[in-house]
Amino acid sequence: MHHIKPLFCHYKINTSSSINNVKRTLASIIFLLFLSSCGFRQAYYFSPFNGNTPNYHTTPLQIDSIKNATYGSILLGGGEANDRLTDNVFIYRSSVYRSHAREKYQFYYGGNITLGNYQVRKYDTLDIVNSLRNGKIINENAGNKFWGGLGLNAGVNYTIPFRTRHELRIGTESSYHYEFGNYLEFRKKIPDSAVTLIHRQGHFITLGLYTELAFKIRNGSIGFKIAIGTPLGKNYSNADGVRSEKGILPFGYFSPTFQYTNKRWTGFVQLTGAAKAFYSQIGGSYRLASATKKQK
C-alpha cells in the first residue's frame, strides 16, 4: 500500500503540468489568431475632399420676413484618413453664398476656398513587407502636405411646414471642387506598386440627399440635418468601391449636423464619415447687410 501514494502523487504532478501546457498552447493560438485578424496596414490615398464636401448652408424659414440673403461662412475641422484612420487632416474653409426662400421650397448656391494640411504617416517594416510591394517610397515622401481647393456648392429642398412655425426639409445637394497643393503632387508621384489604391484626380464632384428639421425660436431657429451622398465619376463608382482586406467598402458620405441661428448669426457642428475617412467640423455663418426683406 505504501507504494500507491507516491505513484498517485506522481500522477497528479504530471496531470497539472499537462494542463499548464495546454493552457499555454491555447493562449498562443488565440494570440496568433488575434494578430492575424488585425492584419497589416493598407495604403489608401484619395482626394482630401472625400468626406469634406458637406457644409451647412443657412436658409431663411418660410415664416421669416427675409426671403433672400447673402451669407459669409467659416469652417474649421480636423479628422483622419487612410487605412485605420492613421493620417491626420486639417481643414479651413471660407464660403460666400446666396440663399432664397419661396412658398414651397428653399435653395442656395455659392463658392468657397479650402486650405488644409494632410499628414502622410510612415509605415512600419512589417506593413511594407506584408502589404505594400514598394512601400518604402511612401516613407521617403511622408510628412505634412499642404492642400487646397476652389469649390462650388448648391442645394434645393422641398419644405413641409408643421405647427405653423416649423419645417421639415427634404432636398438634394451637390458640390464641385478643384484641388491644388502638395498632397495632390504626392499622389501623382507615388506609383501604383506602393499603394493599395490611389486616386490622382484633382476634380471632385458629389451629389447627395438630405433632410432637415428646422424649429422656429425667438430671434432665430435650431435645426438638425442628416445628409448622405456619393462622389461622381468612374473612379469613385460605388460599384467598384474600395477593395480592402475586408471586402468592398462603397464610396459615399454620411453627415449629421446641428445648427443654431440667432438673428444674423448661425453656428453649426457636424460630423462626416466617408470611405477611409472621418471628420468633425465646427463653423459659423453671418448674414450680410445685403439681405432683402419680403415686399409687403
Ranges of each domain in the chain: 1-38, 43-293
Length of the chain in residues, anyone?
296
Q: Does residue 103 carry a pLDDT above 60?
A: yes
> 43-293 belongs to which CATH class?
mainly beta
**Distance between CA atoms of 159 and 123, rounded to whole angstroms?**
49
Query: Would you call 238 helix, strand, or coil by DSSP?
Result: coil
On whether the CB atoms of residues 42 and 131 are closer than 8 A, the answer is yes
pTM of the predicted model as reported, rounded to 2 decimal places: 0.80
Query: What does the angle CA 269 – CA 182 – CA 86 come to, to the nearest 5 degrees?
Result: 55
On whether the CB atoms of residues 277 and 251 are closer than 8 A, the answer is no
More confident: 72 or 295 = 72
**Digit-coded pLDDT (tens) for 77-86:** 999 999 889 9
Query: Would you call 296 helix, strand, or coil by DSSP?
Result: coil
Q: Which DSSP helix (H) or strand (E) runs through 10?
A: helix 4-38
**Digit-coded pLDDT (tens) for 223-248:** 999 999 999 987 776 444 455 444 45
More confident: 26 or 168 = 168
**Distance between CA atoms of 11 and 9, rounded to whole angstroms?**
5
Q: Which three cell numbers stand for residue 62?
A: 418660410
